[in-house]
Structure 1
């Protein structure tokens, strides 16, 4: 099920989008991020755990999850945002998907550079529209695709405005996030894994 079908079938008011993804295309993530903000949803990082409706179990989440590349900008799209201590949020530069595996050895045309610069501009506008800081762009754009992604520290999560809350709305008071039930009355979570974002696809469109 895609995100638009999902929101047509459910009342998402007050819900939290739980993110566990290694990223996706720039323009698709921007469009999805604007949809998340338009719906007034919150965001966090987590992995869904199996539940049994037969036994009356609600959906549960674990904090041991990754939000990488463009997933980080989906996290930014939430009206309120929380990152558990054991979650990992990691950033790098956007790059052309068909050349990310050999970025140094690949060849590039002027049109390629124009597309990259255009999409950096789009990403910058999205970042500021969502209330993010220039630090997020600086941290991301300083990490080329041939080095390991940069994992954001707790201080960097707050400095970039990726984390605005110290808890999430569906967590029980005075408890950890480990296998926490969702907000009372909810039996669902939305994850980028089901929203068409594929690992390490970092370009805004397919390239010939």
Structure 2
């Protein structure tokens, strides 16, 4: 049986190595279309891409989509041929399976990865790769954000939370029926999530905020104060989620000479058309109805 953690909005987590252009960088029409495309991509199973941004930074991992039972394995395959220790992850996700997100988050922490929210824009016509902050990280994506050793959320990104719930009954939670076994699974997985939250250095306030929002209410978007209160954000300096290219071209001196901040596309620089607001979802992942019978395998929760 699958559980669903309802989280509001999609939050984009930008990788630690992405470059932020605070001024002077304008997204091209092509990059605008790419940013808009992620609205649909974040509804699909999560996929990982490597975005190169040499010579002034190492590059970052783009993680777009929902976490499914296949996601941890997909990441392991992606990581097998890459040196990802200390790399940054840029998140754009509606959440997904609770237990699989926990497993993935622990992999990221073991690798010392850095996390942020955003939409990666591939370079065109010789331009450098960049990240647009208009992104959403909802449900279990928020706990993936928490797995970063260093965590940064840019202005313009949206981080939203909601209660954990049975994935096959979140669309009409009030009308659905629940067995004692269902309640046992929910409580067990809340315990797992709490253990993970504290392991990652999160505050109890994060669980309190998320678990206070029922599935029939809109997801709660965390304010700047709440991002700090919950310890989801560890820095206000985007440069702290960048890693110098340790394989070749970029030296620390190079980074000092040319700030890495100039690769993030600011709110002002723009994407010709503002990104439409993402519609809050009832669940982060479509589930096959399982009724009230618990599966023999460990339950998967989703946000």
Q: TM class, shorter-chain normalised?
A: 0.7 to 0.9
SS at match of 2:90: strand
Query: Alpha-carbon deviation of 1:170?
Result: 3.2
Corresponding residue number in structure 2 for 1:25: 97
Q: Distance in 2 between matches of 1:111 and 1:175?
A: 52
The alignment status of 1:68 with 2:114, answered yes or no, reads no
TM-score computed with the length of structure 1 as normaliser = 0.83
Query: Alpha-carbon deviation of 1:10?
Result: 1.1
Query: Alpha-carbon deviation of 1:200?
Result: 2.2
Using a 3 Å threshold, how does the CA distance of structure 1 residues 113 and 91 change in structure 2: closer, same or farther?
Answer: same
Q: Distance in 2 between matches of 1:103 and 1:177?
A: 40
Q: Distance in 2 between matches of 1:75 and 1:205?
A: 27
Q: 2:265 aligns with which of 168, 178, 181?
A: 178
Query: Alpha-carbon deviation of 1:12?
Result: 1.3
Gaps of 5+ in 2: 1-46, 48-73, 244-258, 267-280, 292-303
Using a 3 Å threshold, how does the CA distance of structure 1 residues 15 and 174 change in structure 2: closer, same or farther?
Answer: closer
Q: Distance in 2 between matches of 1:205 and 1:77?
A: 29
SS at match of 2:103: helix
Query: Alpha-carbon deviation of 1:3?
Result: 1.1
**Conserved in 2, the CA contact under 8 Å of 1:91 and 1:139?**
yes
**Conserved in 1, the CA contact under 8 Å of 2:170 and 2:282?**
no
Equivalence map 1:44-59=2 (5 Å): 44-52=116-124, 55-59=125-129
**Conserved in 1, the CA contact under 8 Å of 2:171 and 2:282?**
no
Task: State how many pairs are aligned.
Answer: 189
Q: Distance in 2 between matches of 1:82 and 1:174?
A: 13
The alignment status of 1:92 with 2:175, answered yes or no, reads no
TM-score computed with the length of structure 2 as normaliser = 0.58
Using a 3 Å threshold, how does the CA distance of structure 1 residues 176 and 5 change in structure 2: closer, same or farther?
Answer: closer
Query: Alpha-carbon deviation of 1:15?
Result: 1.3
**Conserved in 1, the CA contact under 8 Å of 2:86 and 2:111?**
no
Gaps of 5+ in 1: 180-197
SS at match of 2:94: coil
Equivalence map 1:1-208=2 (5 Å): 2-52=74-124, 55-168=125-238, 169-170=241-242, 172=259, 175=262, 177-178=264-265, 200-201=283-284, 207-208=290-291
